[in-house]
Amino acid sequence: MVTTHNLGFPRIGRNRELKFALEKYWKGEQTEHALLETADTLRQQHWQDQSQLDWIPAGDFSLYDHVLDTSFMLGNVPERVAVLAGSELDSYFRVARGRSPADKSACGCVHAGEMTKWFDTNYHYIVPEFSSETRFALNANRLLEQIRQAQAVHSQVKPVILGPVSYLWLGKSKDGSGKLELLEELLAVYAQLLNELKSAGIDWVQIDEPVLVMELPEPWKHALRQAYYQLQTTPVKLLLTTYFGQLQDNLQLACELPVAGLHLDAVSAHDEVAKVIDWLPAHKTLSLGIVNGRNIWKTDLTATLDWLEPVHDRLQDRLWLAPSCSLLHVPVDAASETKLDREIHSWLAFAVQKLHEVAILAKALNHGRESVAGMLRNNQAAIVSRWQSSRVHQLPVKARLQEVTNALGNRRSPYHQRAIVQRERFRLPLFPTTTIGSFPQTQRIRQTRRDFRAGQLAQADYRRAMQQEIEHCVREQEALGLDVLVHGEPERNDMVEYFGEHLDGFAFTEFGWVQSYGSRCVKPPVIFGDVKHAQPITTEWIQYAQSLTSKPMKGMLTGPVTMLNWSFVRDDQPRSETCLQLALAIRDEVLALEQAGIRMIQIDEAALREGLPLRKSQWNNYLDWAIRAFRIAANGVADQTQIHTHMCYSEFNDIIEAIARMDADVITIETSRSDMELLDAFDRFQYPNEIGPGVYDIHSPNIPAVDSIVQLLGKAARRIPPERLWVNPDCGLKTRTWEEVKPALSNMIAASRQLADQFAAQAS
Ligand code: GLN
Ligand code: ZN
C-alpha cells in the first residue's frame, strides 16, 4: 500500500481570513484572542481539507512566517526585541514587522528582521540572525499545541519542521562569525525537540532540508552528515524533505543520510527518481512529490501512473506520495472560481484539488486503475481539452515565433552612436531628473477604476476621469521641474495584470491569492495560451500625456521577463518560449508607442533577477533567454528613440554584465538603501550606457534631505561618467501620498541642480 501525505497547506484561507485578522489585530481593532481564534478555525478547516490523506501535517501553519516560527521555537530571538516588555506574540510581530499593537507611539518600534525570498519562490521569510553570542533554548509550545489539535481530528499527524542545516543556511551572521560554529549547540536543541515530539505521540517527523538542491560548499555537506548522524539516535522517524530542484551532486549524500525516509520533488527532479531508487538503502521510505506544488495546472494522472506503477511495483509499502513541495505556493481552492471561463477552469487544480489528485493516484496504485476509472477519465478529458484547445494554440503566434532571429534584438547602431542623436534630440541638462513611472494612487483613482470595472461608470466618463488624473500628474511634474515626465499610471491596478488583461492568452482568477509575506498576498495572472498583442494598450494614455507638455514623456511598459516571473505560467512548453511570445507582444506595443510619436519608452523588468535558478551553474542559460527576450521586446526602435528599463532590488552585482547586454539606453535601479554599495560593481565593470541609481527610498515615508541626495549622487558620480548619470527615486511612487512625493522630488531636483552647478564650476 502506498501512503499519502502533504508537506504543507496554504495558511491564508480561501478568503484571506488570516490576512484580514492579522491586519485588524495590528491596527488594534481586534484582540489577540480573536486573532488566535481565527487561526484555530483556519487550521481546523485546513485539516478538514486534507482529511483524505493518510498523514496530515502540523506546524506548517504560521501567523507570519515559518522560518520566524523556527527562530522562536529555537529561542533565537534578536536581543533588541528580547529585552522589550510584552507577550511572546508582541516579540514575534516586533521581529516580523518592527512593531506590535502594544507599541502605541508611532516609533516605539525596533527595526524588523530582514526579509528575503524563500529559494526561488515569491514567498519571503524573515532571515534568522546569528552571532557568536547566539544561544538556543527550546520552546516548542506552539508546535505541540498544533500537534494536539491535529491529533484530535486525525489519527496520523506528521509535524513539519525546518531542518537545522537549512535553518543555519538561510540565516545571516551579524558579526561575521561562522554560522556552522553554532551547529553543535543547535543539534542539541533539535534532539531535545525530537524527544518532546516522541512524548507527544509522534512517530514520523518531516524535516525540511531544501538546501540539498543547492550548490553546497563542502563544509555544509559535512554539516548535513554531522546533523543526521547525531539526530539518528532520537526516537522518531525522520522524513528528510527536499524540494524545488534536483539533488545532482548531493544525490548520494541525500540517499545515504541515516534517516527513515527521503522526500524528492519528482516534478523538478523527475529525471533523478530512478537514480534515487538505486541509491536508497532498502529499509528507507521514498516519498515522491508527483503533483506540482508550484503551479495551478491539473496533473496528467494517466501519464503519471504510467511511470509510477513500475516504481510502486519495486518499492511497494516504501512508497509515499505527496505534492512536490508545500502547497503554500498555490491558492487554496479552485472551486471558489465561479466566474472563470469554464473551459479554462476545467484545467486548473489549486491546493485542495492537488491533494485530491494525490489521493486518486494512491488509490489507483493500491486498488488498480479501475477503482478510479471515472476520475481518470475526467482528468484525461481535461488534459486533452487543454492540449487541443484553440484558445491555447494560435497558429499565427507560433508561425511568428519561428521567424524570430537574434537580429530582431539588435538596435540599429551601438549605444555611443545612439547617444549622440539622442542628446541632440532631447537636449537634457546634466544629471537629468525623472521618476520610475507611477505617481500616488489616491483613493479617488482607485474608486474610479473600481466603478468602471463594476460597470457604474461609462467608458467615456472613465476616460475623462483618467485624463484628469494624468493632467494633474503632468502639471505637478512640470511645476516641480522634472526633465523627463511620465503619465503616472493611474489606469493600472498592477503592472503585470494591466498588460495581461489586454493580451490574448491570459486569464485572471478571483480568489487565486498566494502569500508573499506576512499578510501580503499576490494574485498572479494565469498564462494559459499563446500570447498575442491584439491592439495598442497604452498609446492613447501616453499620447494624451505627451500632448500636455513639451517635455519628453516616457511611455511605460512591463517587460516580458517580469510578466513571466509574476504569473502562473503554462507548463506545456518551455518558459523561454512563453517569454519570447511575451517579448513579441511587448515589442508590438513598443513600436505602437514609437509610431504614436513617443520618443522615450521605459520597459520595466522589476522581476528579472527573481527568475535566476537556484544553482549558479544554470544562471547563464536563464540569462541568455531572458535578456534575449528583453532585447526583442525593446530593440526594434530607431536610434533616436530612447529605451529605458528599470529594476528593483539592489543585489545584482553578480549579473551586471548580463544587464549591460540588455543594451537599454538608460537603466534606473534601486540603490539608496544599500548606500550606493551596488555601484561597487562599476569599479570592476564599466557599465557602458546611462544609469540612474535610485537616490531615495520610496518604501519609506521620510522626505530625503538635499544634502543626503547630493552625497549619494557624489558617490555615484565617482563611478559613472557625469554625462551618463540620471537622477531618480528607487522605484515607483504609487504607494506614497502627494504630500510626501512633492517635497521629496523637489529635494531630489535641487540636489541634481546643485551637482550640475558643481560640475559646471569645475569645468570652467
Ligand atoms: N513603472 C512601475 C511603477 O513605477 C515600476 C514598478 C516596479 O518597479 N515594481 O510603479
Ligand atoms: Zn522598482
Q: How many CB atoms lie within 10 A of CB 65?
A: 23
Residue nearest to atom 8 of ligand 1 (CA): 606
Residues 140-199: pLDDT tens digits? 999 999 999 999 999 999 999 999 999 999 999 999 999 999 999 999 999 999 999 999
The predicted model scores a pTM of: 0.95
| Residue 682 reports pLDDT greater than 90 | no
Please give the Cα distance from 261 to 241 (Å, whole number).
8
pLDDT band at residue 250, thresholds of 50, 70 and 90?
A: very high
Residue nearest to atom 4 of ligand 1 (CA): 732
pLDDT band at residue 653, thresholds of 50, 70 and 90?
A: confident
Q: Which atom of ligand 1 is nearest to the CA of 647?
A: 8
Average pLDDT, the chain: 96
Paired with 289 in beta bridges are 322
Please give the Cα distance from 224 to 349 (Å, whole number).
35
Q: How many CB atoms lie within 10 A of CB 456?
A: 10
Residue nearest to atom 1 of ligand 1 (CA): 437
Dump the DSSP string for 369-400: GGGGHHHHHHHHHHHHHHHH-TTT--HHHHHH
State the cell numbers at 248: 545532482
Q: What is the pLDDT of residue 650?
A: 62
Q: Which amino acid is at 130?
A: F
Please give the Cα distance from 397 to 263 (Å, whole number).
40
**Cβ(4)–Cβ(288) below 8 Å:** no
Which ligand does the CA of 670 lie closest to?
2
Question: Which residue among 608, 666, 730, 731 has the greatest number of ligand 1 atoms within 8 angstroms of its CB, and so is best to mutate?
Answer: 731
Question: Which residue among 495, 557, 666 has the greatest number of ligand 1 atoms within 8 angstroms of its CB, and so is best to mutate?
Answer: 495
| Residue 484 reports pLDDT greater than 80 | yes
**Shortest CA distance to 463 belongs to which of 536, 535, 540, 539?**
540
- Ligand 1 midpoint to CA 304 (Å): 41
Residue nearest to atom 6 of ligand 1 (CA): 732
- Ligand 2 midpoint to CA 378 (Å): 44
pLDDT band at residue 108, thresholds of 50, 70 and 90?
A: low
**Mean pLDDT across 711-732:** 94
To which residue does cell 570592476 refer?
A: 684
- Ligand 1 midpoint to CA 605 (Å): 9
| Residue 675 reports pLDDT greater than 80 | no
Please give the Cα distance from 759 to 753 (Å, whole number).
10
Please give the Cα distance from 252 to 506 (Å, whole number).
41
**Cβ(672)–Cβ(696) below 8 Å:** yes
Q: What is the pLDDT of residue 616?
A: 95
The torsion angles phi and psi of 69, rounded to 5 degrees, stand at -55, -45
Question: Which residue among 122, 434, 435, 436 has the greatest number of ligand 1 atoms within 8 angstroms of its CB, and so is best to mutate?
Answer: 436
**Cβ(344)–Cβ(391) below 8 Å:** yes
Please give the Cα distance from 572 to 553 (Å, whole number).
39
- Ligand 1 midpoint to CA 495 (Å): 7
Which ligand does the CA of 604 lie closest to?
1
**Cβ(567)–Cβ(496) below 8 Å:** yes
To which residue does cell 493611474 refer?
A: 490
| Residue 674 reports pLDDT greater than 80 | no
Q: What is the pLDDT of residue 27?
A: 94
**Mean pLDDT across 87-99:** 94
- Ligand 1 midpoint to CA 248 (Å): 37
The burial of 427, by beta-carbon neighbours within 10 Å (0-12 exposed, 13-18 middle, 19 or more buried), is given as exposed
Dump the DSSP string for 327-367: GGGS-S-GGG--SS-HHHHTTB--HHHHHHHHHHHHHHHHH
Q: What is the pLDDT of residue 678?
A: 75
- Ligand 1 midpoint to CA 424 (Å): 28
Residues 494-503: pLDDT tens digits? 999 999 999 9
Fill in the DSSP letter of residue 297: B
Q: How many CB atoms lie within 10 A of CB 739?
A: 11
| Residue 611 reports pLDDT greater than 70 | yes
Which ligand does the CA of 558 lie closest to?
1
Fill in the DSSP letter of residue 206: E
**Mean pLDDT across 746-757:** 97
Is the Cα dihedral 671, 499, 618, 293 positive or negative?
positive
The torsion angles phi and psi of 457, rounded to 5 degrees, stand at -135, 125
- Ligand 2 midpoint to CA 168 (Å): 30
pLDDT band at residue 301, thresholds of 50, 70 and 90?
A: very high
Least confident of 354-363, 481-490, 647-656, 732-741: 647-656
Q: Which atom of ligand 1 is nearest to the CA of 734?
A: 10
Which ligand does the CA of 495 lie closest to?
1
Q: What is the pLDDT of residue 454?
A: 96
- Ligand 2 midpoint to CA 698 (Å): 9
Residue nearest to atom 9 of ligand 1 (CA): 606
Please give the Cα distance from 146 to 159 (Å, whole number).
9
| Residue 751 reports pLDDT greater than 60 | yes
Total length of the chain: 764
Q: Which atom of ligand 1 is nearest to the CA of 437?
A: 4
pLDDT band at residue 102, thresholds of 50, 70 and 90?
A: confident
Please give the Cα distance from 508 to 141 (Å, whole number).
40
**Mean pLDDT across 509-529:** 96
Residue nearest to atom 10 of ligand 1 (CA): 732
Residues 425-477: pLDDT tens digits? 999 999 999 999 999 999 999 999 999 999 999 999 999 999 999 999 999 99
Fill in the DSSP letter of residue 675: T
The torsion angles phi and psi of 355, rounded to 5 degrees, stand at -65, -35
**Cβ(211)–Cβ(164) below 8 Å:** no
Per annotation, catalytic residue among 5, 33, 312, 699: 699
Active-site residue 393, yes or no?
no
Task: HSE, CB side, 13 Å, CA atoms: give it for residue 666.
Answer: 28
Q: What is the pLDDT of residue 106?
A: 52
Q: What is the pLDDT of residue 107?
A: 53
Q: Which atom of ligand 1 is nearest to the CA of 556?
A: 1
Residue nearest to atom 7 of ligand 1 (CA): 606
Pocket of ligand 1 (CB under 6 A): 436-438, 489, 495, 556, 604, 606, 646, 648, 731-732, 734
Q: Which atom of ligand 1 is nearest to the CA of 492?
A: 10
Least confident of 184-188, 217-221, 649-653: 649-653
Percent of the chain whose pLDDT exceeds 90? 92
**Structural element, H or E, at residue 140:** none
Q: Which atom of ligand 1 is nearest to the CA of 558?
A: 1
